[in-house]
Amino acid sequence: MKAGPEAPDAEQRPANTRSRILDAGERLVQVRGFNGFSYADVAAELSLTKASLHYHFPSKAELGEALIARYADRFAHALATIDANITHPPAKLDAYASLYTEVLRQERMCLCGMLAAEYQTLPSPIRDAVVAFLDDNEAWLALVLEQGREDGCLRFSNTPADTARSIVSGLEGAMLVARPYGAIERFETAAAQLLGSLAGAEIANS
C-alpha cells in the first residue's frame, strides 16, 4: 500500500481510528465548545498526527458534521427506545429529561446545545444540522404531548409544538445554569418543575 502524508497512523484499523477521533471530538465539543479545540488537541489526546486526522476528516467542519450525525443517531435511538418501552406520556417526558441528566453526570453538555451557543460562528452545514437536531426533538415531544393531552394526563394551554419548544429550551437552559455549580440536582429540580407543570405531581414526585 502506498504511504504518504495522507495515510492514517493506524491504517490497519481505520474504522477504529475514526471512532476514536469522533469520541475525542465529541467530548471536546461538549466540554469546550466547537471553537474551543483544534485538530492539534485531538491529535495530542489520541497520539495521532494531524495528517491522520485530515485523512479521516479533511476539515474541522466535516468532523463537526460527523459528530452531529452520530449524536443525532444515538439520540434518535434513545427516543425510539423510550417509545418501545414506555407508553404513559408523563413517564416518556421524564425519561426524555433523564437523557440530559446522564450527559451532565459525565460532566458534559448536550452536544447540540453547545453548538447552538456558538451558532453564528459555525459553518453553514453545521448550523443546519443543529437546527435539524432540535427540530427532531421538538417533533418527538410534540407527539408525546398531543398523546398526553388526548389521554388527559398532560395539561398545557399552548399548542403541542409550542410546548415542545418550551421543554427543549427549558432543559437546555437548565443544563447551562447547573454547569457552573457542578450540581446535577439543580438541573433535576428545574426539569421536575418544568415537566411537573404539565402533569401535576405525577412527574414532580416521581
Phi, psi of 72 (to 5 degrees): -65, -40
Last residue of a domain, one of 58, 77, 99: 58
Q: What percent of the chain has pLDDT over 90?
A: 87
**What's the domain range around 39?**
1-58
Q: How far apart are CA 107 and CA 179, in angstroms?
A: 8
pLDDT at 182: 87
pLDDT at 13: 60
Q: How far apart are CA 141 and CA 170, in angstroms?
A: 13
The pLDDT of residue 1 is above 60: no
- Do 114 and 181 lie in a common domain? yes
**pLDDT digit string, tens, across residues 113-136:** 999 999 999 999 999 999 999 999
- Do 98 and 191 lie in a common domain? yes
Averaged pLDDT of the chain: 90
**pLDDT digit string, tens, across residues 149-177:** 999 999 999 999 999 999 999 999 999 99
Q: How far apart are CA 6 and CA 53, in angstroms?
A: 9
Q: How confident is the model at residue 200 (pLDDT cuts 50, 70, 90)?
A: low
Q: How far apart are CA 147 and CA 35, in angstroms?
A: 40
CATH of residue 20's domain is: 1.10.10
Decide: residue 102, CB within 10 A, 0-12 exposed, 13-18 middle, 19+ buried. exposed
Q: How far apart are CA 100 and CA 93, in angstroms?
A: 11
- Do 35 and 78 lie in a common domain? no
Over residues 36-52, mean pLDDT: 94
Q: How far apart are CA 18 and CA 70, in angstroms?
A: 12
The pLDDT of residue 30 is above 90: yes
The pLDDT of residue 202 is above 50: no
Q: How far apart are CA 181 and CA 185, in angstroms?
A: 10
Q: How far apart are CA 78 and CA 202, in angstroms?
A: 23
**pLDDT digit string, tens, across residues 68-84:** 999 999 999 999 999 99
pLDDT at 14: 63
Last residue of a domain, one of 16, 35, 58: 58
Q: Which residue's entry shows cell 398531543?
A: 146
Alpha helix (H) residue ranges in the chain: 14-32, 39-46, 50-56, 60-85, 89-105, 111-117, 124-151, 160-178, 184-199, 201-204
- Do 112 and 187 lie in a common domain? yes
